[in-house]
Each structure stands twice: as structure tokens, then as C-alpha cells.
Amino acid sequence: MSWLELVAAGLGIVAVWLTVRQNPWCWPIGLVMVLLYAWLFYDWRLYSNLLLQLLFAALQLYGWWQWTRGGERHDGRKVSRLGMLAALTGLLTGALGAGLLGYLMATYTDASSPWLDSALTAFSLVAQLWMAQKRLQCWALWVVVDLCYVVFFLYSELYLTAGLYAAFTALAVSGWLSWRRDPALQYAP
């Protein structure tokens, strides 16, 4: 465990906690966190996760814009549900991305766990995109992905990061419960 991992983990908890509360400061704090984790994943040779953090950096900026300037009146997005077709399309995109990235990582890199790392990366991107758009289903997907990450990081002997993802899982459950009670969602057609 390094001081960098400890700082990144602390920022991660704060960022997700703010996300549950729909506070737009979750995005700039999350941006710092993902850049620190990009550095760490490079050192750990988890290249799919490194790529994920770099893509998360772009999604942090997109989410910040969506939450503060998106929506019909450009005053920030409101919580909404994905339709069945949109949810299935997102999951299928995640599965295709997982297969493609897994193949590339297994074939062209010395990644320590190319297939599982790639699958978690692809589905994390889907969940993060849904979160930036304030889609309720982001939390259900995060619960599944975060639980898988806990097991993955325990196996990789990255215990602090496994603990971080266990906390993320609890926060995702909290986010699901909180966002389900959001008035914007309750009164949506």
C-alpha cells in the first residue's frame, strides 16, 4: 500500500458519496481520483484498468457538464430511468467491448488478467456513462461491477483497493435507494 493508493481511495469514497447526494462536485474530485488510479494501474500492469481511468477522466468532464448544464433547459440533468431497449443496448455494448478489449489485451500486452480486467473495464464505462446521464440503472450495474472488482482485487492482492470497491458497493446500494426516491423520478411520465 502506498500513500498514492491511500489518497486515491479516499478521494474515491468522497466522490461517490457526493454522487449519491447528486452534488456536482463529485466530478472534479472524481477526476483527480481517476488520474491517480491511472498512475497506479500502470505500475500494477493492469492496462485495461489504466485505459479505463483515462476514459473515466473524459467521462468525469462529461458528467460535470451534464449535471450542471445538461438537460432540456440546460440547468442540469434530472434523475431518469433507461428504457428496456436502451438498457439492453448498453449491456450489449459492454459485452462487445469486453470481448474486443480482452482479445487485444490478451494478444498484444503482458496484462496480468486480460479477460476479466477487460470485462470489468467495459461494463464500468457503461455504468459511468449512465451515471453521467443520471440514469437510475447505473447503480444496479455498479453494484454488480463493484462486487466483481472486490473479488478481482483480492485475488490480485490489492487489499486496500478491494476494500475501496467494497465501500463503493455499499455506496452504490445507497445511491440506488436514494435516487429511486428522487422527486424528478417519482413524477416522470
What interhelical angle do 114-132 and 47-69 show, nearest 10?
0
Taking only the tens place, the pLDDT of each residue in 145-160 is 999 999 998 988 888 8
Cα–Cα distance list, 100 to 104, 114, 174 (Å): 6, 11, 32
Taking only the tens place, the pLDDT of each residue in 37-87 is 999 989 888 787 788 899 999 999 999 999 999 878 888 899 999 999 999
Cell of 129: 456513462
DSSP string, the chain: --HHHHHHHHHHHHHHHHHHTT-TTHHHHHHHHHHHHHHHHHHTT-HHHHHHHHHHHHHHHHHHHHHHH-STTSS----BPPPHHHHHHHHHHHHHHHHHHHHHHHHHS--SSHHHHHHHHHHHHHHHHHHHTTBTHHHHHHHHHHHHHHHHHHHTT-HHHHHHHHHHHHHHHHHHHHHHT-HHHHT--
Bridge partners, residue 80, by sequence: 135
| Domain regions of the chain by residue span | 1-72
Taking only the tens place, the pLDDT of each residue in 167-186 is 999 999 999 999 999 988 86
Taking only the tens place, the pLDDT of each residue in 98-136 is 999 999 999 998 888 899 989 998 999 999 999 999 999
pTM of the full predicted structure? 0.89
